[in-house]
Amino acid sequence: MPTAIKHHTRCIICGSTDIMPYLSLGNMALANSFATKQHLTKPAKKYPLGMTYCHACHLSQLTHTVNPKNLFQTYAYFSSTSPQLVAHFSAYAKDLWRLFPTLARGLVVDVGSNDGILLVPLKKRGSRVLGVDPAKNVAAAAAQAGIHTMTKFFTPTLAQIIINKYGQANIISANNVFAHTPDIHLFMTAVKRLLCPGGIFVFEVKYLGDLIGKNEFDTIYHEHVFSYILHPLVTLLGKYAMQIFDVHHVDTHGGSLRIFASHIPLPFAISPSVSTYLQKEIRAGYTDLTTYTRYAQKPPAVKKKLLALLTSLKQKNKRIAAYGASAKGSTLLQYCGIDTNFIDFVVDTTPYKIGKYMPGTHIPIVDARQWKKHPPDYILLLAWNFSDSIIKREAWFGRRGGKFILPIPAVGVV
Ligand code: JHZ
């Protein structure tokens, strides 16, 4: 394996050394490094997890990044496991066809295509599609759904291979992956090369405005090298003679942005949404370090409150389990020091995760049948982004007296 960890003293996007660490969540096992039974005898490898702010371009990036080869070549996350995400990406495909019908008819390359969650509905509508994702195990699921994936990291070399074989892309999409690569300049060079003149680059990223506003600190983990507001993205794309021409807020992952960009000169009018977002970010203080240093006081408050609640429930001999072996759940459990002393098991529907153990805390992951056989008194919702649908679907649990604990945005019992 390549050297795992790199400490950053410069902003990865703009190169400035005027960066300031503002948050440390301690040392953590990688959020998707689910342990097998054999691994349990060895302590998990842990890496520092913290955030830095760049005074020059207003980027928040990790203080230390892990080599992507250690993170993404075998992957635990299968996007289509969650029906809400399937619906989101199906609507996304519909939007692309509605907004850019001529482009959508040609080649669409999805980077970080996972199990084909966006390409399946695009293909159904008539797009020529190609996936790019280094995770062979997840690409195998895409193949089953009829999607061909190049199982490589997205680099200029790969872009050239794609051009030679398929031609340039009309649309390049990259969802929940643009924040994941420390080699963002290689990624952008590849986008620049692969995208045809007049084509669009569309991507979704978790929005730092939601992270701060709703205290979603658990969405910070080593896979998320960058937590974006719009400002640094404008800087980044500008370096490649590209421009953002539209931006929308979407609900996924606790609040994300869907961003549309193209080569300069732009073939599209710039939507007022771009300047609206930039101004809103300035007004909200997201271009000012003090907002971030102030925010850094919030995660410890959640930890204190959640531990107090779980401790009091254990003192009353209540049985507690968790729902959703999410990556953010890994951060939350590890940061708060919540392990098998509090939580008996975590329920998840992902076959890859069932039978394994949560990273760092080693809580066993079980399928839904086991939960129903031995229902606990309380369920800690680690997939709080799906709380409405989970609580509704699992109404039987409430009817028999069970309660859900919501950790984010504020600790509460429902
Ligand atoms: P979920 C993922 O984060 C990983 P995670 C990734 N690194 C990323 O960037 C973000 O998304 C954006 C399960 N589940 O989607 C499925 C049920 O069991 O919140 C998942 O294991 N039953 C790419 O991992 C987990 O919960 C259900 O009914 O934090 C949810 O993970 C539902 C709805 C989900 O993302």
| Ligand 1 centroid, distance to 327 Cα (angstroms) | 7
Looking at the DSSP bridge assignments, the partners of residue 52 are: 21, 61
Tell me the percentage of the chain whose pLDDT exceeds 90. 95
User: What is the arithmetic mean of pLDDT over 176-186?
Assistant: 96
List CB contacts of 321: < 8 A, sequence separation 6 or more: 343, 344, 345, 346, 347, 371, 376, 378, 379, 380
Question: Burial code of 336-354, b = ≥16 C-beta within 10 A, e = fewer?
Answer: bebeeebbebbbbebebbb
What pLDDT does 1 receive?
47
| Ligand 1 centroid, distance to 326 Cα (angstroms) | 5
* pLDDT exceeds cutoff 80 at 34: yes
* pLDDT exceeds cutoff 70 at 2: no
Going by alpha carbons, the residue nearest to atom 9 of ligand 1 is 176
Report the 10 Å Cβ neighbour count for 24: 13
List CB contacts of 91: < 8 A, sequence separation 6 or more: none
| Ligand 1 centroid, distance to 367 Cα (angstroms) | 15
| 3-class secondary structure, 50 | strand
CB 115 within 8 A of CB 142: yes
As a whole number of angstroms, the distance between CA 165 and CA 184 comes to 24
- Residue 20 dihedral angles phi and psi, to the nearest 5°: -140, 120
Q: Which residue has the higher pLDDT, 19 or 42?
A: 19
User: What is the arithmetic mean of pLDDT over 304-327?
Assistant: 98
Structure tokens at 192: 């620049």
Q: How confident is the model at residue 4 (pLDDT cuts 50, 70, 90)?
A: confident
As a whole number of angstroms, the distance between CA 23 and CA 7 comes to 15
Residue-wise pLDDT for 130-167, tens only, equals 999 999 999 999 999 999 999 999 999 999 999 999 99
Q: How far is CA 178 from CA 83, 183, 274, 327, 359, in A?
A: 23, 10, 19, 17, 24
* pLDDT exceeds cutoff 60 at 3: no
User: What is the arithmetic mean of pLDDT over 188-207?
Assistant: 98
User: What is the arithmetic mean of pLDDT over 399-414?
Assistant: 96
Going by alpha carbons, the residue nearest to atom 34 of ligand 1 is 82
| Ligand 1 centroid, distance to 299 Cα (angstroms) | 21
Residue-wise pLDDT for 376-403, tens only, equals 999 999 999 999 999 999 999 999 999 9
User: How far out from the chain centre does Cα 110 lie?
Assistant: 16
Tell me the percentage of the chain whose pLDDT exceeds 70. 99
Task: Note the pTM of the prediction, 2 decimals.
Answer: 0.96
User: What is the arithmetic mean of pLDDT over 305-311?
Assistant: 98
Q: How far is CA 164 from CA 130, 154, 170, 174, in A?
A: 14, 15, 15, 21
Among 253, 257, 333, the mutation site with the greatest number of ligand 1 atoms within 8 A of its Cβ is: 253
198 backbone φψ class: left, alpha, beta (φ>0; ψ -120 to 50): left
Question: Burial code of 251-280, b = ≥16 C-beta within 10 A, e = fewer?
Answer: ebbbbbbbbbbbbeeeeeeeeebbeebbee
Tell which residue, 72, 48, 53, 50, has the closest CA to residue 13: 53
Tell which residue, 168, 156, 97, 153, has the closest CA to residue 127: 97
Among 210, 331, 348, the mutation site with the greatest number of ligand 1 atoms within 8 A of its Cβ is: 348
Structure tokens at 389: 């649908």
Q: How confident is the model at residue 370 (pLDDT cuts 50, 70, 90)?
A: confident
Q: Which atom in ligand 1 lies closest to the alpha carbon of residue 218? A: 29
User: Residues near ligand 1 with C-beta < 6 Å?
Assistant: 77, 81-82, 84, 176, 206, 223, 253, 324-328, 348-350, 353, 383, 385-386, 390
DSSP 315: H
As a whole number of angstroms, the distance between CA 333 and CA 336 comes to 5
Q: Which atom in ligand 1 lies closest to the alpha carbon of residue 386? A: 33
User: What is the arithmetic mean of pLDDT over 96-112?
Assistant: 98
| Ligand 1 centroid, distance to 324 Cα (angstroms) | 7
